[in-house]
Amino acid sequence: MSIPEFVKPAPSYWQYLPYFKHLRGVYLFGKVYLKKEIYENLNNPSPDPYFESILVHELKHKEQVEKTGYIIFSIKYLFSRNFRLNSELEAIKAQITFLKSKDIKYPYIERTAKALSSWVYLWAGDYAVIKTVLDSWVRK
C-alpha cells in the first residue's frame, strides 16, 4: 500500500496531550497523522495489515469530511453523538472489511466499543450496543 503525500507521522509532542496520546491516527486539517511506529511500518515493503487498516480507517474519515465539508463535519462530529458514532462506525467497518480481505479478524472489538463509549469519543454510544454491532460485522 503506497502512502499518500498527505499522510504524516504525528508530532512527537502529541504523546503528552490528553486526547491525542490515545489516538493511533487522526484526520485533521487535510492531513492524516499516524503514530510514528505506524507511519514507519507502513513504509516497509511488507507493512502490518492492522496498521494498513488504521490508514484505511483514516482515509474513510477524509472521504466523510470531503463529502460533508470540513466545517459542517467538525460541528456535527463535536456536537452530535449520533453523527460522531455513525462516522466512527463507518470508518471501523471499512477497517474490518479491509482486514477481512486479508483473512484477518478485527482483534479489538471490546477495546473499540469501550473507547467509543468513553470520554475519548465524547461518549458517542452505549458500550453493549456498539459491541453487538462490531461483533456482527466481524462474524459476517
End-to-end CA distance of the chain: 25
**Cell reading at 48:** 502490518
pLDDT tens figures, 85-97: 999 999 999 999 9
How many residues are present in the chain? 140
pLDDT tens figures, 23-79: 899 999 999 999 999 999 999 999 999 999 999 999 999 999 999 999 999 999 999
Q: What is the CA radius of gyration of the chain?
A: 15
Place of cell 455513525: 86
For every residue of 87-130, DSSP letters joined together read: HHHHHHHHHHHHHHHTT-----HHHHHHHHTSGGGTS-S-HHHH
